[in-house]
Amino acid sequence: MAIADILFGRPLATKEERAEKIGPLAGIPIFGLDALSSAAYGPEAALTLLIPLGAAGVAYILPITAAILGLLLILYFSYRQTIAAYPAGGGSYTVARENLGDGAGLLAAAALMIDYVLTAAVGISAGVGALVSAIPGLQQHTLAICLSILLIVTVVNLRGVREAGVAFMIPTYLFVGCLFIMIGVGAVKALAAGGHPVPVEPLPRMPPTTAVVSLWLLLKVFSSGCTAMTGVEAVSNGVKAFREPTAPNAQRTLTIIITILMVLLGGIAWLASVYGIGATDPVKNYESVLSMLLRAIAGRGVFYFVSIGSILLVLSLSANTAFADFPRLCRIIARDSYLPHSFASTGRRLVYSNGIYILALLTGGLLTLFGGVTDRLIPLYAVGAFMAFTLSQAGMVRHWMRQGGGWHNIVVNGTGALATGITTVVVLTAKFLDGAWVTVLLIPLMLAVMIWVRRHYDAVAAETATEEGVDFRDVQDPIVVAPIAGWNKVTQGALRFAYTLSNEVRAIHISAGDETEDLFCQSWTELAVSPARAAGLPPPKLVVIDSPYRLLLTPILHYVLQVEEENPGRQIAVLLPEMVERHWYHYFLHNQRAEILKAWLLIKGNQQIILVNVPWYLRA
């Protein structure tokens, strides 16, 4: 296990679970990376759609950002209440399901799952976008860099939540620090220059105007800008990960995250408009808006590269929010039997490994499909998030109505539900043809799968349900069948164990018909029959089956089925000796045959046939 230990950290005993709890300082990077880092692609996504309006279009970013900040504030108050009301973890799924019913819950779940995959994909692609802005020669390797970063994030997350927090804390605070300095210096320069500062370095010229402004265009700009809000719900999903008192710690974390995010979004939009910085073509000679802003304000010096470095790190690792929350969400859904129960098992380091694998696969697929270009991913984004926001807030309204939580609470969450509901419709309409239709297709598909899984579990439960007690009449010893390849201590142990189960033991030996076989059969009396007689037990019966082509498994399988047929009602216990290795690399050397026989017996067998693994421990 040594290699796995280095990669994923030593396995944690389940007891250590309590220690893996975090406070706000660690909570901001873990649950805030997505929200904060979206400052780096949200404004840019909006500005990209303003390109056709030319240099004059940049000014529209200010009113649109104002609308986005207003919406963000509404969301903040809504989610503060959710955290307080659901200290055990109030994800959209839980809140919608408990208050609005299973259907709404599943809808929220599907929307969120899609959203997390996009969070991971957009985070990574935008991070690589920052990198290729600084080093244009790397642009042709965009996809390869994206996938490498995905691999690193996956491995870090398989190590477990606390280490992931530590690994991401420094870049997050560096990122926030750099952007605050940029906004501060930029603000001073802008004010000193009377609102018309001169860039330190020449910037790419905006292309000429090719369109006129329209309400439709502004709606699309707003919809794209809304991607800056994704990730706000992360804290409320993960309340349980915080240390006591969990709810206040989580609320404090949310407050800090939202405050920072609003400063970043507002600052970037304002500086972009005063410097006249628009977006560039996302594929050819791409340079990110933040890269241009940094160059305009501070030039291409040490600060520029430190900032770009922190943006690269934070953006690509913002995928971590998805990696922290997606498996948690899957676990909650799996507990309600809408996803396979294996999603609810914790892995080596108390993280939900299955969820991580699935997320890594989907994200990798999406990045490959879209060549790692953020602009192509944006239209798919935000629909899921806002759908989940709406369901969650609507659920909270219902929650207060039931609980009698007071008008104040209902108004806060009602406003949230209304605002996000309208935004969902706007985003879906504005970006339907650009890619949002994928989400519209995926969600019913995911609903169908989740319902199918639940139906299956329900059917199994119904099939096995009973109110009756055990029928202990006519309990008979099983017939024990022990396949025996030759004489050794494993055989000895298996035969002795066989007699602890039953006095009716049959050893089955597959013979290729050569001399050593005759010797084996002759020694049988001495090795097994006589000792059994001496101990007063009925001796084991030796069944020798000729197999000229050296087939092993088929004759054993047939024999077991035949014994089962000849003894209706009797249980047949098949002994399968199993070598237990001391090193994982020994695994490939043993037990393959026993595994195949076991699988065959399960497939071809029936309720009467029981498989008994008799372990043999090899010395180290």
Binders of its own copies in range 519-578 (CB under 8 A)? 526-528, 530-532, 534-535, 537, 549, 551, 553-554, 571, 573, 578
DSSP 489-532: HHHHHHHHHHHHH-S-EEEEEEE-SSHHHHHHHHHHIIIIIHHH
For residue 140, state whether it binds its own copies (rule: CB under 8 A).
Answer: no
Those residues whose C-beta lies under 8 Å from the C-beta of residue 256, and which sit 6 or more positions away, are 24, 28, 32
Q: How far is the CB of 483 from its own copies (least distance, A)?
A: 15
Instruction: Of 303, 359, 369, 370, give the one whose Cα is nearest residue 328.
Output: 359
Residue 472 binding its own copies, by CB under 8 A: yes
Which residues does 548 contact at the CB level (< 8 Å), separation at least 6? 512, 513
Those residues whose C-beta lies under 8 Å from the C-beta of residue 163, and which sit 6 or more positions away, are: 9, 156
What's the angle, vertex CA 524, arms to CA 523 and CA 527, rounded to 5?
85
Which residues in 417-456 contact its own copies (CB under 8 A)? 453, 456
Residues 8-27 that bind its own copies (CB under 8 A): 13-15, 17-18
- Give whichever of 272 and 358 is closer to its own copies, judged by the CB atom: 358
The closest alpha carbon to 30, from 19, 40, 20, belongs to 20
* Interacting span for its own copies (CB under 8 A) from 199-207, 246-254, 373-381, 588-596: 588-596
**Do 530 and 479 meet the contact criterion of CB atoms below 8 Å apart?**
no
189-197, 387-395, 437-445, 500-508 -> range binding its own copies (CB under 8 A): 500-508
**How far apart (Å, rounded) are the C-alpha atoms in residues 424 and 422?**
5
Q: Give 319 or 576: the residue with its C-beta nearer to its own copies.
A: 576
Contact between 516 and its own copies by CB under 8 A: the answer reads no
- If one counts every other C-beta atom within 10 angstroms of the C-beta of residue 270, the result is 17
Helix H segments across 38-60?
A: 42-50
Neighbours of 181 (CB within 10 A): 15
Rank residues 306 and 561 by Cβ distance to its own copies and give the closer one. Answer: 561
**Cβ closest to its own copies, residue 355 vs residue 379:** 355
- Residues from 177 through 196 that contact its own copies (CB under 8 A): none
Cα-trace Rg, the chain = 32
CB of 550: closest distance to its own copies in angstroms? 9
Least distance to its own copies, CB of residue 499, Å: 5
| Interface positions, 306-325, toward its own copies (CB under 8 A) | none
- Calculate the alpha carbon distances from 239 to 23, 100, 235, 328 in Å: 10, 21, 6, 11
Cα torsion at 441, 443, 448, 453 (round to 10°)? 140
538/504 Cα distance (integer angstroms): 7
d(CA 449, CA 162): 32
Q: Least CB distance from residue 322 to its own copies, whole Å?
A: 22
> CA-CA distance, 228 to 246, in Å (whole number)?
26
Nearer to its own copies, 38 or 337 (CB): 337
Smallest separation (angstroms) from its own copies to the CB of 101: 23
Nearer to its own copies, 196 or 473 (CB): 473
Minimum CB distance to its own copies smaller for 281 or for 595: 595
Subset of residues 52 to 71 that bind its own copies, contact rule: CB under 8 A = none
Q: Which stretch binds its own copies (CB under 8 A): 62-70, 194-202, 360-368, 491-499?
A: 491-499
Cβ 460 to its own copies shortest distance, Å? 6
Beta strands 609-617 and 572-580, pairing class: parallel
Find the shortest distance in angstroms from Cβ 382 to its own copies. 31
412 near its own copies (CB under 8 A): no
Total residues in contact with its own copies, by rule CB under 8 A:
84
Q: Kindly indicate which of the ranges 186-194, 364-372, 428-436, 608-616 contains the residues binding its own copies, using the contact rule CB under 8 A.
A: 608-616
Which of 102, 487, 511, 561: binder of its own copies (CB under 8 A)?
487
Least separation in angstroms between residue 598's CB and its own copies is 8
User: Judged by CB under 8 A, does residue 342 bind its own copies?
Assistant: yes
Beta-bridged to residue 541, according to DSSP, are 506
